[in-house]
């Protein structure tokens, strides 16, 4: 799945897709990669009766990428908490905050 996503993203830049797939597979054999997609965010939100759209899911993925604790990792519970936080700010018209900004008191 990851390999196919990389190949799709590179699209027409790839001259030899078989060779590219081999190189990606070789590289991925040396690393551990855990991928969370906007589809996961949308699914988790729906499971918790929170309505978000694709754009909001991308913002939540971005928030998770910048704010998660690498020692604890990213879990479904963490994703759910980020969705709750996002929805609370959004629903209270406070989602002018972006990664790295502090709320004025």
CB 27 within 8 A of CB 61: no
CA 79 distance to own-chain centroid: 9
Convert the pLDDT of each residue in 5-57 to its tens digit.
888 889 888 899 899 999 989 998 898 878 899 999 999 999 999 999 999 99
Residue spans per domain, the chain = 1-33, 38-91
Read off φ and ψ for residue 69, nearest 5 degrees. -90, 115
More confident position, 56 or 1: 56
DSSP string, 20-68: HHHHHHHHHTT-------HHHHHHHHHHTT----HHHHHHHHHHHHHH-
pTM over 0.85: no
How far apart CA 95 and CA 29 sit, in angstroms, is 40
Structure tokens at 7: 């190949």
Arithmetic mean of pLDDT, 89-102: 63
Q: Which of 54, 58, 39, 51 is nearest to 84 (CA)?
A: 51
């Amino acid at each position: 799945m990851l390999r196919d996503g990389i190949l799709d993203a590179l699209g027409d830049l790839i001259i030899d897709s078989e060779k590219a797939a081999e190189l990606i597979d070789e590289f991925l054999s040396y690393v551990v990669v855990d991928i969370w997609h906007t589809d996961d965010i949308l699914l988790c939100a729906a499971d918790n009766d929170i309505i978000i759209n694709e754009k909001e899911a991308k913002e939540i993925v971005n928030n998770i990428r910048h704010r998660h604790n690498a020692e604890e990792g990213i879990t479904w519970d963490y994703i759910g908490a980020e969705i709750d936080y996002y929805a609370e700010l959004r629903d209270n018209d406070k989602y002018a905050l972006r990664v790295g900004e502090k709320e004025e008191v």
